[in-house]
Amino acid sequence: MKDYRRRHGDAAAIDTGGGGHKSWRELQLERENRKLREENEFLKKAAAFFARDHR
């Protein structure tokens, strides 16, 4: 499933299965939100790494 979504993007998941359909804009925003969360998590880890006392 991950490979399919990676190849076809979130556009393949327009039908959420819960009876509701997401707009293209909602899918774009969710994708952007996921990317920003991943980047934020990476930056937190990098900040913690460089904040450690390296003697």
CA distance 49 to 43: 10
- Looking at residue 52, what is its pLDDT? 92
DSSP 3-state assignment of 33? helix
At residue 44, does pLDDT exceed 90? Answer: yes
- Looking at residue 42, what is its pLDDT? 98
Distance of alpha carbon 41 from its chain centroid, rounded?
11
Which sequence spans correspond to the domains of the chain?
30-55
- Region 7-34: mean pLDDT is 78
